[in-house]
């Protein structure tokens, strides 16, 4: 039989989460962010769940955009980082994509290319994130250049919030954005998942929900996914493949980072960092064995990790294990490992078999 690890993708949960985002968006259109292979969930699977309901899609890679069009997706597709070289523009135009324009180099490429089929674009404003986008010093000139280009049809103003997920919020950035765009009668796209849920005043005309679609809270320190009404989409599951009985002082795993303080039963799970489980997850990271909560022990190995079965006498070889997902929030596992659920999802290894739950 194959190794027992597997990931289960719940398409009904993904659809539910999108429709929740759509309700939060009010009159705004909700473009599903499916970059990074739909946050590790599989771009094709995301289309199965969202292809007939999403107002649009947002991603990074031209090849992924090509795959969406090949799959019959007719809705708008946003390239969140735009194009990277002049050769991209012919296909961007042919596929009817909407690129973000965030720098002088892209403006120059677009001016030189002058695509025969006019493009809709997103003009990105750096309102305080300080990654991509035009600042107060060069935004007006960039907008004027885009408006003068015959190859540009429609312009949407966009920005991205750095702290929508914490107590600082979006106030300072929203003020910068509104100051720069005052008097401009152009559509706006600002809100990611956290802003959509916390700051309805930033909804604008297009919202860009990402992590919430996949069942992760965009602000787990403030509100859990369950409290928001989100459902887990990815469940990473495996089984116990071995059991050891140890006594006080005996150690578990590489480096002996965990030592028993008394008699213990140790379960060995067929899951390790080569499967996408975080190597840095410490002793105490929660997992479920047979639906009951326990903790990891010692250092995560490439193909295995250990857990505490001392209080689970019924557990043994073959007992089902949930690493995250249904019954155990990925946000909680991520927090214990010092990371975020985005990283857990995106790190799922290609060697892990994926099955689909339709309903």
Catalytic residues: 35, 254
Query: Looking at the chain, how many residues does it have?
Result: 359
State residue 13 phi and psi, 5-degree precision: -65, -40
- Burial 281-299, CB ≥16 within 10 A → b, else e: bbbebbbbbbeeebebbbb
Could you give phi then psi for residue 355, rounded to 5 degrees? -120, 160
Burial class of residue 245 (count of CB atoms within 10 Å of its CB; 0-12, 13-18, 19+): exposed
- DSSP letter at 41 equals T
Q: How far is CA 230 from CA 102, 175, 217, 218, 326, in A?
A: 32, 30, 8, 11, 11
Q: Which residue from 296, 290, 306 is spatially nearest to 337, judged by alpha carbons?
A: 296
Q: Where are the beta strands (DSSP E) in the chain?
A: 6-10, 29-33, 56-59, 77-79, 98-101, 119-124, 152-158, 188-189, 206-207, 234-246, 251-252, 258-259, 264-269, 286-289, 292-297, 305-308, 320-324, 354-357
b/e 315-345 (16+ beta carbons within 10 angstroms → b): beeebebbbbbbebbbbbbbbbbeebbbbbb
Q: Residues 282, 290: contact at Cβ < 8 Å? A: no
How many other C-beta atoms lie within 10 A of the C-beta of residue 61? 15
Comparing CA positions, the residue from 230, 239, 234, 238 lying closest to residue 326 is 234
């Amino acid at each position: 039989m194959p190794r027992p690890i597997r990931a289960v993708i719940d398409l009904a949960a993904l659809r539910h989460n999108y429709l929740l985002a759509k309700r939060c968006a009010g009159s705004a259109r909700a473009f599903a962010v499916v970059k990074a292979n739909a946050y590790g969930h599989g771009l094709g699977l995301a289309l199965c769940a969202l292809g007939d309901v999403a107002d649009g899609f947002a991603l990074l890679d031209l090849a992924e955009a090509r795959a969406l069009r090949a799959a019959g997706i007719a809705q708008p597709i946003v390239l969140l980082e735009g194009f990277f070289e002049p050769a991209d523009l012919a296909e961007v135009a042919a596929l009817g994509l909407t690129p973000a324009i965030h720098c002088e180099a892209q403006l120059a490429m677009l001016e030189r290319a002058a695509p025969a089929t006019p493009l809709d674009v997103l003009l990105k404003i750096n309102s305080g994130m300080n990654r991509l986008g035009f600042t107060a010093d060069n935004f007006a000139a960039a907008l004027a250049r885009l408006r003068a280009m015959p190859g540009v049809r429609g312009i949407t103003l966009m920005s991205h919030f750095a702290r929508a997920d914490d107590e600082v919020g979006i106030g300072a950035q929203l003020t910068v954005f509104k100051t720069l765009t005052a008097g401009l009668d152009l559509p706006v796209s600002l809100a990611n998942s956290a802003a959509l849920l916390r700051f309805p005043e930033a909804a604008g005309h297009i919202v860009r929900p990402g992590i919430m679609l996949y069942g992760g809270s965009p602000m787990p320190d403030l509100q859990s996914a369950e409290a928001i009404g989100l459902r887990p989409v990815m469940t990473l599951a495996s089984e116990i493949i071995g059991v050891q009985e140890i006594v006080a002082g005996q150690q578990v795993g590489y480096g002996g980072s965990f030592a028993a303080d008394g008699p213990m039963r140790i379960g060995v799970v067929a899951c390790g960092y080569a499967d996408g489980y975080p190597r840095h997850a410490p002793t105490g990271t929660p997992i479920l064995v047979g639906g009951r909560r326990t903790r990891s022990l010692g250092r995560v190995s490439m193909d295995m990790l250990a857990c505490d079965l001392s209080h689970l006498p019924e557990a043994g070889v073959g007992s089902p294990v949930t690493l995250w997902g249904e019954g155990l929030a990925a946000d909680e596992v991520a927090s214990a490992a010092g990371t975020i659920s985005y990283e857990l999802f995106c790190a799922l290894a290609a060697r892990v078999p994926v099955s689909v739950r339709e309903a």
